[in-house]
């Protein structure tokens, strides 16, 4: 069993071993896998995180959704809360205190129908975040389909989660898709 702190360390150590080329390839494979998922293809108001070097790059995902003419929003932290701010291809961004890009605009999207959620480590659909609780608070009580994306090496078996941790509906890595019904598919077409 892993505490959240232990799971974060193990997962981050594994990501640090990936080369920039491996992370770029894996990010592209994750975007390709997402594009085949019905909840992604048919969403209207997706909410997508903008990541760091230790997370899959979501620029291609955001670009694809904007090309699909979806009402895309990304996070902006205000105090202890996080808001979904609508963006366009012409939106302006600034870097927050964690080095993450945030939109400058005011257009809050109150009811996203899909959330692409970051994580540091995962065990099935159990997600370990960075520890601030921003996503758990934001997602609590909302009817949003939650897809976590991660590099496959961030998988840590036996993670201890808390009652307030919001689980995922689906998880996508460069190698597999895990769904809430327990189905695990290799994205190269083979069931596991």
Whole-number Å distance between alpha carbons of 32 and 192: 19
For position 182, what pLDDT does the model report?
67
pLDDT tens digits for range 82-120: 999 999 999 999 999 888 999 997 888 879 999 999 999
Of the candidates 58, 59, 78, the one whose C-alpha atom is nearest the C-alpha of residue 119 is: 58
> Is the Cβ–Cβ distance between 111 and 64 less than 8 Å?
no
Instruction: Enumerate the β-bridge partners of residue 86.
Output: 73
If one looks up domain 4-186 in CATH, what number appears?
3.40.50.10420
When computed from its CA atoms, the radius of gyration of the chain, rounded to whole angstroms, is 16
Residue spans of the domains in the chain: they are 4-186
Q: What are phi and psi of 190, to 5 degrees?
A: -110, 135
pLDDT tens digits for range 36-59: 999 999 999 999 999 888 999 999
Q: What is the mean pLDDT of residues 65-92?
A: 94
The model's confidence at residue 183, banded by pLDDT at 50, 70 and 90, is low
The model's confidence at residue 192, banded by pLDDT at 50, 70 and 90, is very low
> Is the Cβ–Cβ distance between 171 and 149 less than 8 Å?
yes
């Amino acid at each position: 069993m892993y505490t959240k702190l232990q799971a974060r360390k193990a997962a981050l150590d594994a990501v640090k071993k990936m080369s920039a080329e491996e992370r770029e390839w894996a990010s592209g494979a994750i975007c390709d896998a997402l594009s085949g998922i019905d909840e992604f293809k048919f969403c209207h108001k997706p909410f997508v995180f903008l990541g760091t070097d230790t997370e899959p790059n979501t620029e291609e995902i955001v670009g694809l959704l904007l090309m699909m003419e979806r009402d895309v929003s990304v996070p902006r932290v205000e105090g202890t809360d996080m808001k979904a701010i609508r963006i366009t291809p012409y939106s302006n961004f600034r870097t927050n205190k964690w080095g993450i890009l945030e939109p400058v605009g005011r257009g809050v999207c109150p009811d996203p129908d899909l959330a692409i959620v970051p994580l540091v480590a995962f065990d099935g659909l159990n997600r370990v975040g960075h520890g601030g609780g921003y996503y758990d608070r934001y997602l609590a009580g909302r009817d949003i389909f939650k897809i976590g994306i991660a590099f496959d090496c961030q998988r840590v078996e036996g993670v201890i989660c808390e009652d307030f941790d919001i689980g995922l509906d689906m998880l996508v890595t460069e190698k597999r898709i895990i769904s809430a019904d327990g189905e695990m598919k290799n994205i190269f077409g083979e069931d596991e």
